[in-house]
């Protein structure tokens, strides 16, 4: 454990959170929010670290694991916006999340319950604490509450199928789970000195279920024993699939990634991989594009191809089709790597339509004096 790197990544995360709380998100696309956060991380981390996982931007009943691929979803007044992003310094990850109402106070009670539930999880944590007891305390608090939205009183629920988790260098979700509910089975694991945890209850007005949108997956990660699966199946993969595997292994290794980063990277391969370039989209203004190690960030993108392409300045029809075909090939190759158990998919998760989910997440390290609350801040 390198405590200084954990403290540095948490400090950077908190600085970005402060900027985001000062931002008006109304009428912004969720993708533009993601680009903004990626740019913040890149500028803050410099060469020592970077993005720990794809930025999650989830609205209303969307719970988690949604990083947009296009500008189709616009944040509107009255929405409930959740932002979950990760920063790492030399692999030491800060994974923290928060919820913001968009120009409304109707979610104040729901947000406050979510904040308090997360604080309870932090307060209950410490040396030799049973992880199951933390979940029982979180659930007891949440189920004791109800909220009022537009004159209707609604009992809130915790989402039982999602948990907090331990964090290790370059591994966002490592070996131990922190339940968000009372378990109906024996779970004897305890917190130990030197371990790092993310505490993250999810509070909902809905059914408390997890509905997985497998048709729109946008998170991938190499499986823990991916190298065995690859060695076993590499002769069944074509050149494109083998090349993609090696690119993922070189760029991301055990960290999650999104196919958008691979789409973006193709543009730079096509044009000779410059460190800085200017691109435009059809009908859109010229924008600046920066390459930072294995990912890119774009200021704005308006796409009339409906394939999430960013079109270089002066691209002709043949080039446009080439970019679109590359994205199709990339998605197909990712699906093949998943089929052979090399990659894991993490699709967007929803509660029932029309519900609202709040989510706050904090990180702690268990020390010989109890715990260090790395992500504590004035906002949540």
Same structural domain, 95 and 160: yes
- Domain shared by 336 and 367, yes or no: no
Residue 43 shares a structural domain with residue 192 = yes
Q: Evaluate if residue 351 carries a pLDDT over 70.
A: yes
Residue 164 has pLDDT above 50, yes or no: yes
Give pLDDT, residue 157.
98
* CATH code: domain of residue 176: 3.90.230.10
Question: Is residue 246 domain-shared with residue 168, that is, in the same domain?
Answer: no
Q: Domain of 202?
A: 3-212+351-373
* Spatial CA neighbour of 364 closest among 203, 181, 198: 198
Q: How many domains does the chain have?
A: 2
Q: Judging by beta carbons within 10 Å of its beta carbon (0-12, 13-18, 19+), is residue 295 exposed, middle or buried?
A: buried
Place of tokens 């190690």: 293
- Indicate the pLDDT class of residue 131, thresholds 50, 70 and 90: very high
Tokens of 239: 């050149």
User: What is residue 314's predicted lDDT score, i.e. its pLDDT?
Assistant: 53
Residue 309 lies in a domain: yes
Q: What is the pLDDT of residues 194-239, one digit of tens each?
A: 999 999 999 999 999 999 999 999 999 999 999 999 999 999 999 9
Same domain as 331, residue 252: yes
Q: Same domain, yes or no, for 77 and 95?
A: yes
pLDDT at 300: 32
Q: What's the rounded Cα separation, in Å, for the pair 328 and 132?
A: 44
Conformational region of residue 141, where left means phi above 0, alpha means psi within -120 to 50, and beta covers everything else: alpha
Give the lowest-confidence range in 19-33, 184-198, 261-275: 261-275
Q: Is the pLDDT of residue 357 over 70?
A: yes
Residue 357 placed within a domain: yes
Among 147-161, 166-180, 209-223, 309-323, the range scoring the smallest mean pLDDT is: 309-323
- Token pair of 100, please? 């913001």
For 75-119, the pLDDT digits (tens) are 999 999 999 999 999 999 999 999 999 999 999 999 999 999 999
Within-domain flag for 231: yes
| CA distances to 115, 280, 341 from 40, in Å | 24, 22, 34
C-alpha 115 chain-centroid distance: 19
In the predicted model, what is the mean pLDDT of residues 255-265? 88
CA-nearest of 309, 180, 334, 306 to 248 is: 334
Q: How are beta strands 357-359 and 202-204 bridged, if at all?
A: antiparallel
Which range among 92-101, 193-202, 280-289, 360-369 shows the weakest confidence by mean pLDDT? 280-289
360 in the same domain as 334:
no
| Pair (240, 120) in one structural domain | no
On whether residue 380 sits in a domain, the answer given is no
Asked if the structure places residue 44 within a domain, the reply is: yes
Percent of the chain at pLDDT exceeding 90: 78
Residues 198 and 312 in one domain: no
Residue 292's pLDDT is 35
For residue 63, is it within any domain?
A: yes
Q: What pLDDT is stored for residue 324 in this prediction?
A: 76
183 and 267 share a domain?
no
Q: Quickly list DSSP for 163-206.
A: -EEEEBTTBSS-S-EE-SS--SS----B--TT-EEEE--EEESS
* More confident site: 228 or 268: 228
**Residue 64 and residue 160 share a domain:** yes
Q: Flag whether 171 is in a domain.
A: yes
Residues 199 and 176 in one domain: yes
Longest dimension (CA), the chain: 64
Radius of gyration of the chain (CA): 21
91: in domain: yes
Q: In what order do the strands lie in the sheet with 177-178?
A: 177-178, 164-167, 196-199, 362-367, 370-373
Run of H or E including 232: helix 226-233
């Amino acid at each position: 454990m390198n405590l200084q790197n954990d403290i540095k990544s948490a400090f950077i995360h908190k600085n970005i959170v402060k900027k985001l709380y000062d931002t008006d998100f109304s009428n912004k696309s969720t993708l533009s929010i993601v680009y903004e956060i990626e740019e913040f991380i890149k500028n803050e981390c410099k060469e020592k670290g970077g993005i720990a996982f794809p930025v999650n931007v989830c609205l209303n009943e969307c719970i988690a694991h949604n990083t947009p691929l296009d500008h189709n979803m616009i944040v509107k007044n009255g929405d409930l916006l959740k932002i979950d992003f990760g920063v790492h310094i030399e692999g030491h990850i800060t994974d923290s999340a928060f919820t913001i109402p968009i120009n409304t106070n109707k979610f104040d009670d729901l947000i406050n319950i979510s904040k308090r539930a997360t604080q309870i999880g932090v307060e209950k944590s410490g040396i030799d604490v049973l992880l199951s007891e933390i979940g029982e305390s979180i659930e007891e608090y949440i189920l004791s509450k109800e909220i009022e939205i537009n004159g209707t009183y609604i009992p809130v629920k915790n989402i039982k199928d999602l948990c907090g988790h331990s964090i290790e260098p370059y591994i966002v979700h490592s070996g131990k789970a922190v339940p968000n509910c009372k378990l109906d089975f024996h779970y004897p694991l305890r917190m130990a000195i030197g371990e790092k945890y993310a505490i993250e209850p999810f509070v909902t007005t809905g059914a408390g279920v997890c509905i997985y949108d497998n048709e729109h997956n946008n998170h991938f990660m190499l499986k823990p024993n991916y190298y065995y699966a690859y060695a076993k199946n590499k002769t069944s993969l074509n050149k494109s699939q083998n090349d993609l595997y090696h690119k993922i292994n070189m760029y991301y290794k055990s960290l999650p990634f999104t196919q958008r980063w691979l789409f973006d990277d193709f543009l730079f391969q096509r044009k000779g991989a410059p460190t800085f370039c200017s691109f435009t989209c059809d009908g859109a203004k010229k924008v600046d594009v920066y390459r930072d190690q294995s990912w890119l960030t774009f200021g704005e993108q308006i796409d009339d191809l409906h394939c999430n392409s960013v079109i270089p300045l002066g691209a002709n029809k043949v080039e446009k089709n080439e970019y679109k075909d590359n994205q199709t090939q990339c998605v197909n190759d990712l699906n093949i790597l998943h089929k052979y158990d090399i990659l894991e998919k993490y699709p967007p998760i929803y509660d029932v339509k029309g519900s609202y989910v709040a989510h706050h997440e904090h990180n702690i390290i268990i020390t010989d004096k109890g715990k260090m609350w790395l992500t504590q801040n004035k906002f949540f």
